[in-house]
Amino acid sequence: MAIQVVLVEPEIPQNTGNIARTCVVTGSVLHIVGPMGFSLDEKHVRRAGLDYWKDLTLYTYECIEELYQKYPNGDFWYFSSKVPRSFHEADYSRDCFLVFGKETAGLPKELLEQNESRSVRIPMRGGQRCLNLSNAVCVGVYEALRQNDYFSLK
């Protein structure tokens, strides 16, 4: 069992590298839905993930429908700064999918509307746009882990 982190169309290689590192140290799995704004071979991604890449469980998809086909019964939760429900109100399963959008636009409006009851936000001060993507992923992952007694993390 593992937390599943989904990045939809990530644009900044350093964020993806940092997220990969978070996935490795928490035992989470990283799923990347394209198109990406960079290549996974880029030195910036590798540098941000340091020597953790060899331990990363990573899957890539051309579109989100491909991810849904692979996990038709997945427990998907969609993170956005544009929805009212707080992330701590969700009940995350041991194999939940935490879905995050690209840095400049977040998740598509249609996707959030189709999944309104499963869309959550991280509370922030009013007037602020959003957290950095890698920070938001870390917050979401650790809340899902907390709700599941951190699995066997030490």
Binding site for S-adenosyl-L-methionine, by residue number, is 101, 122
Q: How far apart are CA 39 and CA 45, in angstroms?
A: 8
> Which residues are part of a known binding site?
101, 122
SS (H, E, C) 24-86: HHHCCEEEEECCCCCCCCCHHHHHHHHHHHHHCCEEEECCHHHHHHHCCCCCEEEECCCCCCE
Q: How far apart are CA 92 and CA 74, in angstroms?
A: 11
Q: How far apart are CA 20 and CA 25, in angstroms?
A: 9
Residue 32: phi and psi, rounded to 5, are: -115, 125
Helix (H, G, I), strand (E, B) or coil at 21: helix
Q: How far apart are CA 42 and CA 126, in angstroms?
A: 36
